[in-house]
Structures are given as C-alpha cells and as structure tokens.
Chain A
Amino acid sequence: MHLTGIDLLFWAGSFLGHIILLSVLLIRRRAKEFPVFTTLISANIVRTIVLFLIQQYGTKADYFYTYWSLAVLDVMLQLGVAYEMTSRIFRPLGEWARDIKRSLVVWIAGSIALAAGLTWLASPPTRLWIQTAMIRGNFFSAALLSELFVGMIVLSVTAGLPWKTHVARISQGLGIYSVCTVLIEAGRTYFGLKRGTHTYDELSHTRIAVYLVCVVYWIIMLWREAPQPREMTEQMRRQLLALQRNAGHQLQSLRSRRD
C-alpha cells in the first residue's frame, strides 16, 4: 500500500499530537480525573504505531482487519468518554440526579433510534457488502455521538446542572468533531467506493484534519487550570451542613404530605 506525502504528514501529526496530549493529561494530573478519555488518547497512540508497522511489514488483509478492529475499539471508547462526561455532569453528589434519569434514558433510546433510522436510509454505492457495512457503521457512530453530546447540553441547561471547565472542553471537542464527521460520512455515503477510493481518501484526510484541530484544542484547554475556588470557613461549613440536614427533613415531610 502506497503512502502519499499528505498521508505521512497526517500520520506524524496525529502521533505527535496524541503524545503531547497524553503528556498534558499526565503532567497536569488530568488522567486520574478522566481515565476513559486518557485511555482513548493512549489507544490512539498505540493504533497509530500498530497500523504504521503493519502498513510497512504486514499484508493488505492484516491491515484491513487490524484497522477495523481498532476502529470498533475507538468508537467504544468514544462512547465511554460520552458516559464519563455525562456522569461528571449529572452526578453532582456522586449519584445520578433523580430528576434527570428518565430524560437521559429517553434521550439515549431516541438517539439510537434516530441514528439507526438515518443509517437505514443510507445506500452507498459499493462493490462489496463489507464496504457498505463500514460506511454505514461509521455514519451510525458519528450520528449517535453527535446526538448524545447535544443531548448533554440540552439536559444540563434544562436541569440547571453546570459543567466543570475541563468536562466542557473535552465534550465540546468531541461534540464538534462528531457533528463534522456526520457531514463527512454523508459525503462518503454519496460517493461510496464503487469508482475507486480517491474521494473516500480525500474525505478521510478532511476527517483527520478536523480531529487534529480538536487534539490541539484539547492540548491548550487541558493544559490551562480551571478557575480557582475560594475556601469556605469552618463556621460556614458547619452552618451549611446544619442547613442541609434541615432541608432534607423539610423535603421529606413535604413529600409525605403530597403522597
């Protein structure tokens, strides 16, 4: 398989970008806070190395199966990141906020149904069924992820739950990348693979370029510290705890009255 200059540039850029991002996550101690996101970035580094080595020394079939196996892993990890960000926003006290559970389930089910419906409509011109499955699979994951990230924004604003600085930055990057990917995958669906891979490759370059912009954004944003909170006095802490205990009793009594 022949690699063009731009292929090598993207390969090197992706490898370097992920190495810098992983260093930022480790140096700034964000890895502990975002373990799934850190795993995604680490997996991308491993993927870049493995695919490069297979491309140099392996067969076309080796490359094909490795590429798609790792692509499935990548999608699973992106869904894992979506879960990680969701749990940071909707579990303010360590448990899922009770008023949000139902909306979350409805949103996830609706997102899967809508993404599946759109994917069913796609009919890319291809020679092999596996090419159709590849293009449709990519489209489905992009549509689903973009819906999930937009859903997170809608639900958090509706419920009045804030986003912490770094959660917002990771989600923004992945959300914008997913929306752009929907557009790119729609293009791939139109052009397909029947008349060769030229347009498919061009769209792949566009997708990698968008992703690299996101990586740079994450490097800058995760390097920066979140705004520093002030420290509460011991007296205020005690009063707040007393207030909270009282509020819990009040709420309980009101609920029993309503029932």
Chain B
Amino acid sequence: MSTRTVFFFAAVVVFLVSLVAVALYYYRRSRQTSEKSWEQLLGRLTFIDRDSVARIALDYVDESGQRRTDDAAAELEPTQISKLIGGLEGLEILERNSAVLIDLAFYVQQWYPEAVVLAEDLRLTAREIEWHVERLRGAAKTGNLESSFASYAQPAIAKYYLMTQRVLALYERGDIAMLLDLQRTI
C-alpha cells in the first residue's frame, strides 16, 4: 500500500468518525430539547433578579420597547450596570435563559404552528443576545470588560427584558397556570 493510500484511509477514518460523532451529539441534543416537558424546561431556567434587569432595560428603552430620548435616559454608568447584572457571569445566565425561552416558545409552537412568527422573532433576539455576550467575553479576555458594558451589555439586557415580556404576554393569553410558573422564574 502506497503512502498516499495510507494517508487517504487515515483521513477517511478520521472524517467518518468525526462526522458520525458530531451528527450523534447534535441529534441527541435536539432530541433532549424536544422531549422535555414544560416542568423540565422551567427547571433549566436560572433565577435572575427581575428588578435589576428591568432597571437596566428601562434606563435604555421605555415599556413599549421604544428608545428613550428624554433627559433621564441612559443614566446608569457601566460599573453600575455590571454590578446590577452580576458581571459577565450574570450575562452568561441571561444567555442560557434566552436559549430556554426559545424552547418555551417552541412549546407553544408545537401546539399552535401559527406561533412560528413569534418563535422566530424570539429566536433571533436570543441569537443577538448571544452575539453581545460573545463580544463581552472577548472584551473580558483583553481586560476591557467594564468599558464594553455600556455598548454590549445594556442592549443585551434590554432585549432579554423585552423578550421575557413577550413570552409572558403570550402565555398570559394561553394558560394562567403556566404563566404563574413562568413569572416566578424569569
């Protein structure tokens, strides 16, 4: 067997093992998400101080989600935002909760396919939050976390706040028992 053939078979083995391993890992992950019950999904949420989230968000946008332009807008300093949210760790919790919120929206979508528009909107918002948190992680590595909080953290928190409001509004129109569970957590 020539050296090239040996390389070829080694590459094919690595290729196939990697492909199957990746496929199985992600397939299993998707099954775990889709097989979760409502209670299990709620159990994945991490408690967040809702008042802190609301304070940071409402410093940035008003209740309807419109950008605030009044004199009292954007008063919070980056250090205050960082403290209120619990630093990078707090943002990572927001990111994890965003993923769970998408699953919660999917739960509604499973029974009501018309909710695909809202689910997609929530999914895109959560992906943007992930984007912000990724940049904050990068800033943390270079020691610029505090200065990055104003540009990345506040928009992410405002998005999270608005997203939770939308999910709560959706459930409010569906199932009151579910809403009470959700309000306690997010």
Contact surface of A with B, Cβ cutoff 8 Å: 92-93, 97-99, 114, 117-118, 121-123, 143, 146-147, 149-150, 153-154, 156-163, 175, 179, 182-183, 186, 189-190, 229-230, 232, 235-237, 239-240, 243-244, 246-251, 253-254, 256-258
Contact = CB atoms under 8 A, between A and B. Distances in A.
B22 interface: yes
Contacts of B180: none
Contacts of B113: 229
Contact of B67 (A98, A143, A239, A254): A254
Contact of B65 (A160, A162, A254): A254
Contacts of B115: 232, 240
A2 to B, nearest CB: 31
Interface in B1-60: 2, 4-5, 7-9, 11-12, 15-16, 19-20, 22-23, 26-27, 29-30, 34, 60
Interface string B152-186: 00010011001000100110011000000000000
Contacts of A161: 123
A249 B65 contact: yes
A254 B116 CA distance: 22
A109 to B, nearest CB: 17
Contacts of A253: 61, 65-67
B114 interface: yes
10 contacts: A97-B124, A121-B11, A122-B8, A123-B8, A156-B30, A157-B29, A183-B16, A240-B170, A250-B61, A254-B155
Nearest to B116: A92
Nearest to B162: A250
B126 to A, nearest CB: 7
B89 interface: no
A27 to B, nearest CB: 24
A154 B127 CA distance: 15
A86 to B, nearest CB: 15
A157 B26 contact: yes
A237 to B, nearest CB: 6
A161 B15 CA distance: 26
A160 B106 CA distance: 9
Contacts of B72: none
Contacts of A239: 169, 173
A127 B115 CA distance: 60
B121 A248 contact: yes
B118 interface: yes
Nearest to B105: A160
B117 A244 contact: yes
A98 B34 CA distance: 23
A111 to B, nearest CB: 11
A159 B155 contact: no
B139 to A, nearest CB: 15
